[in-house]
Amino acid sequence: ASTQHQPRGAFIVFEGADRAGKSTQCQMLVEHLQAAGVAAELWRFPDRTTAIGKMINSYLTSQAEIDDAAVHLLFSANRWEKREELLRKLRAGTTLVVDRYAYSGVAFTAAKGAPGLDRAWCMAPDAGLPAPDAIFFLNLTVEQAAARGGYGEERYEKADFQRKVLEQFQGMRDSSWRVIDASQSIEDIQQQLREQAGAVVARCQRGGEPIKQLWG
Ligand code: 2DT
Ligand code: MG
């Protein structure tokens, strides 16, 4: 059997618009898995710690202006530069809970509606990256998000733009996405995530699960 089919960690991605509770739920899930004896790490994209990530951070905090196409490629490059480490961790048996991935990449750039930067263009640079074993979509309307105290100060944190991002996510998601009603209580959401993620982790631990590639 190839190494891909050995027991391994699970690759679990969280997506959703801002304020849906992704970071809170990811953190809680990782702590739960660790407490249950599962090797697990919390990752997030963009990873703002790398050289590319620092450019992205400058862009998001409006300290830098970067062309829409160019910054899209930086976000993608930020995933590619983490690819080997990501695969190494999974093969070593570590489960990765990842706060945003290529789906955010496509949704946020496509939401700009810039000439030429349609969904197909946005998807192209991420083709071939490792694909997650499960995608949890924390579903919250812009109105519900606003009721949570509004958005922050970063570039994309505006209601009108978030509405377009949500439309992009709706247009992109397929039946494999696990849609979670993010208007529920933190505890209720976490309970559902633990059950579903637990099953994914167990499946990958048993072996026989290949690591697939985007956009498969
Ligand atoms: P956080 O608020 O989660 O730090 O995200 N984004 C993210 C993109 O535009 N393209 C991408 O590929 C990714 C991963 C979403 C910061 C913002 O960056 C956006 C929100
Ligand atoms: Mg944010």
The whole-number pLDDT of residue 149 equals 84
The whole-number pLDDT of residue 146 equals 87
Q: Whose CA is nearest to atom 11 of ligand 1?
A: 105
Lookup: tokens for 103: 């789906």
The whole-number pLDDT of residue 17 equals 81
Q: How far is CA 140 from CA 74, 131, 170, 178, 203, in A?
A: 27, 24, 12, 14, 29
DSSP state of 3: G
Atom of ligand 1 nearest to the CA of 44: 3
User: In Å, how far from its chain's centre is CA 142?
Assistant: 19
**86 phi and psi angles, rounded to 5 deg:** -60, -50
pLDDT tens digits in sequence order for the chain, 216 residues long: 455 579 999 999 999 989 999 999 999 999 999 999 999 999 999 999 999 999 999 999 999 999 999 999 999 999 999 999 999 999 999 999 999 999 999 999 999 999 999 999 999 999 999 999 999 999 999 999 989 888 899 999 999 999 999 999 999 999 999 999 999 999 999 999 999 999 999 999 999 999 999 998
Question: Does 105 contact ligand 1 (Cβ within 6 A)?
Answer: yes
Distance 157 CA to ligand 2 centre (A): 7
Which of helix, strand or coil describes residue 194? Answer: helix
**What is the rounded distance in angstroms from the CA atom of residue 198 to the CA atom of residue 43?**
18
Distance 52 CA to ligand 1 centre (A): 13
> How many alpha carbons fall within 13 Å on the CB side of residue 105?
30
The pTM (predicted TM-score) of the whole model is 0.97
Q: Whose CA is nearest to atom 8 of ligand 1?
A: 105
Q: How far is CA 214 from CA 80, 103, 129, 176, 186, in A?
A: 12, 10, 5, 14, 30
Distance 2 CA to ligand 2 centre (A): 38
The whole-number pLDDT of residue 203 equals 98
